[in-house]
Amino acid sequence: MDKQLNPPQRILMGPGPSDVYPGVLRSMSTPLLGHLDPAFLTIMNDTMDLLRHVYQTENKLTIAMPGTGSAGMETVFVNLLEPGDKAVIGINGLFGTRMADIAERCGAEVIKVEADWGTIIPPEKIEAALNEHSNVKLVAVVHAETSTGVLQPLEELSEIIHNYGALFVCDMVTSIGGTPTEIDKHKVDAAYSGTQKCLSAPPGLAPVTFSEKAGEVINKRKTKVQSWYLDLTMIQDYWSGDRAYHHTAPISMVYSLYEALRSIKDEGLENVYSRHEQYGRALHSGLEAMGLKLLVKKEHRLNQLTSVIVPEGIDEAETRKLLLEQYGIEIGGGLGSLKGKIWRIGLMGYNAKMTNVNLVLSALEDVLRQQGYEVTGGAALKAASEAAAK
């Protein structure tokens, strides 16, 4: 007989998934409701309300798509773009690259605005692209680049984009629940995110939100959305008063999202953000006290995801292997052009706490020492503790 599921215990401090709130884990064992049951429809409504709260928006069209974060990305582009449309895409990491790939598959003309991985997209480069190309339908940037740990400021960008009459699209997979998203304040027209980062729910849903203006663009399309599964012209009727059958919602995942959002609202958004700020700052100080260099300069660093440059002579993958095997701690490696060059350490959602800062600093110090890297014992923990107390 096949074995019962008994996976090893881990502390998930990579780029996601992160560890899930205990209450969220328990909620997954709740027996199912039918997906058209009035009681489930109430849960869907409550989940939409909570999503609006956490996204910081009044957008009516704020729902959880039935797939992981990348399905959210695809949802935004397949619904907003039609063949021949122009899209300006900011690329400063893997997820910008992915947005461009998806937009091209929609038949759009993609105008790439590139910046070095680990830096932000300069707003003036977006403005230059909008100046050069007329009738751009949308501009997309990644708010929190999971592949580099960069936080893209939105305010100036938003003003530029709206001056040119384009839609403002944001990848908020790693920012939601960890960094203020402020959809309405920044006039973001469409955003998508994942559940497995700072929301601390399991992967499997992609919360998306669309402004009224973006909704009108979708409802006035000349062509059918190329993906049936992600077609919002139908799905909006499933998540609305009509409850028109489309797909079967992933019931247990909706349970988990509801409970995760409820935990966040209960703690208070401001408290959640400042907790991420506090422990992110502690981790940064600790790593620097260990003599390590961070990829991203201070003012553009994410609190929830930190990219550390692998010191010379240290094996990137071997270090992660030792952390996993000796400590049960998972951290991430680099992607694309940063493969083998950085580690990515997450302090996301439920995991953004001092015990995790201490654990990862101590463990990293040990496995680096095993590889001949010299570290002043205890300096990292002291620096982290001081930074956290600031």
Distance, in Å, from the CA atom of 271 to the CA atom of 144, rounded to the nearest integer, reads: 19
Minimum Å gap between C-beta 259 and a second copy is 6
Site for a second copy in 223-242 (CB under 8 A): 224-230
Tell me: does residue 43 bind a second copy (CB under 8 A).
yes
Q: Which is nearer to a second copy, 158 or 195 (CB)?
A: 195
Size of the residue set binding a second copy (CB under 8 A) = 78
Residue whose C-alpha is closest to residue 151's, from 349, 331, 299: 299
Decide the pairing of beta strands 109-114 and 86-91.
Answer: parallel
- Say if CB 295 and CB 309 are below 8 A apart: yes
- In 3-state terms, the chain is what percent helix, strand and coil (to 5)? 45, 15, 40
Q: Which is nearer to a second copy, 10 or 133 (CB)?
A: 10
Decide the pairing of beta strands 293-294 and 206-210.
Answer: unpaired
Query: Residues 79-108 vs a second copy: string with x where CB under 8 A?
Result: -------------------x--xx-xxx--
Site for a second copy in 245-284 (CB under 8 A): 245-253, 255-256, 258-259, 262, 265-266
Tell me: does residue 150 bind a second copy (CB under 8 A).
no
Tell me: does residue 309 bind a second copy (CB under 8 A).
no
Q: Which is nearer to a second copy, 110 or 381 (CB)?
A: 110
Q: For residue 306, list its beta bridge partners.
A: 345
Tell me: does residue 66 bind a second copy (CB under 8 A).
yes
- Say if CB 351 and CB 12 are below 8 A apart: yes
- Residue 55 DSSP one-character state: H
Tell me: does residue 41 bind a second copy (CB under 8 A).
no
Task: Cis check for the bond before 17: say yes or no (omega within 30 of 0).
Answer: yes
Tell me: does residue 74 bind a second copy (CB under 8 A).
yes
Of 32-40, 122-130, 268-276, 282-290, the segment contacting a second copy by CB under 8 A is 32-40
**What sign does the dihedral 114-116-122-124 (CA atoms) show?**
negative
Of 15-23, 127-135, 158-166, 373-381, the segment contacting a second copy by CB under 8 A is 15-23
Distance, in Å, from the CA atom of 165 to the CA atom of 278, rounded to the nearest integer, reads: 38
Minimum Å gap between C-beta 102 and a second copy is 5
Sequence-distant contacts of 266-273: CB under 8 A, at least 24 apart: 269/53, 269/54, 269/56, 269/180, 272/177, 272/178, 272/198, 273/178, 273/179, 273/180
Q: Which is nearer to a second copy, 240 or 252 (CB)?
A: 252
Amino acid at 235: I
Minimum Å gap between C-beta 134 and a second copy is 27
Q: Which is nearer to a second copy, 127 or 316 (CB)?
A: 316
Minimum Å gap between C-beta 379 and a second copy is 29
The residue from 12, 150, 170, 218 that contacts a second copy (CB under 8 A) is 12
Q: Which is nearer to a second copy, 10 or 112 (CB)?
A: 10
Minimum Å gap between C-beta 310 and a second copy is 18
